[in-house]
Structure 1
Amino acid sequence: MRKTHYSTVRKFFHNPFFKPSTKPRPFKAYSFVPFSPLAMLDPTILTIGGIVLGIAIIERILERWGVIDLVDQFAKVMRFILPVAFYSALFYFFATFIL
């Protein structure tokens, strides 16, 4: 003889009978790329790039105006600043976005 189970509508909606028999297993995904390409849109990296680009544009404008002495001074300073800015931005990028 079968056992009959009675339930009210309220009990049915708040405590459904269907329960999954298996629990979801944790899924580990591995990526060959340790960072997202969208990570380059970080405000710090964009700011460093914008400052370097702005200085390069100012240098070109001064060169067109014929102020060669000032352009040479900019070139001497940028010979040091550009590599430092590039490597610091690269270090910041890898230190921040690799999981």
Structure 2
Amino acid sequence: MRKTHDSTFRKFFHNPFFKPSTKPRPFKAYSFVPLSPLAMLDPTILTIGGIILGIAIIERILERWGVIDLVDQFSKTMRFILPVTFYGALFYFFATFMF
């Protein structure tokens, strides 16, 4: 047999029979995964950084060998290439970054 329970309309709205099955969390949890420094290990960013580092090493080697004219040309082009590459890589990083 089924049990029936009589209730008035006013009592039904002020005291619900069913309590919510899920309890509310006492605090909000935030994830700090997108702020991980390991996110910088993107292959594209590492490749661009490796190319720039290689050019800087080649420039220092040419300076030690005494080829100052070629080093001067490298430094003039790197004054333009380094900021453009840095801001381009920064834009790429934030454009492909999953927030």
Relative to the length of structure 2, the TM-score reads 0.67
Match of 1:95?
Answer: 95
Sequence identity of aligned pairs in percent?
Answer: 84
Match of 1:54?
Answer: 54
**Unpaired stretches in structure 1, ≥5 consecutive residues:** 1-21
CA distance in 2, matches of 1:83, 1:33: 29
Match of 1:73?
Answer: 73
Relative to the length of structure 1, the TM-score reads 0.67
CA distance in 2, matches of 1:74, 1:66: 14
CA distance in 2, matches of 1:31, 1:41: 20
Which 4+ residue blocks in structure 1 deviate beyond 2 angstroms?
22-25, 28-36
CA distance in 1, matches of 2:31, 2:77: 41
Alpha-carbon RMSD: 2.8
Following superposition of structure 1 onto structure 2, how do residues 21-60 of structure 1 map, counting pairs within 5 Å? 22=21, 29-31=29-31, 34-60=34-60
Question: What count of residue pairs does the alignment treat as equivalent?
Answer: 79
| Structure 1 residue 32 displacement after superposition | 6.0
Bigger RCO (CA 8 Å, 6+ sep):
1
**Unpaired stretches in structure 2, ≥5 consecutive residues:** 1-20
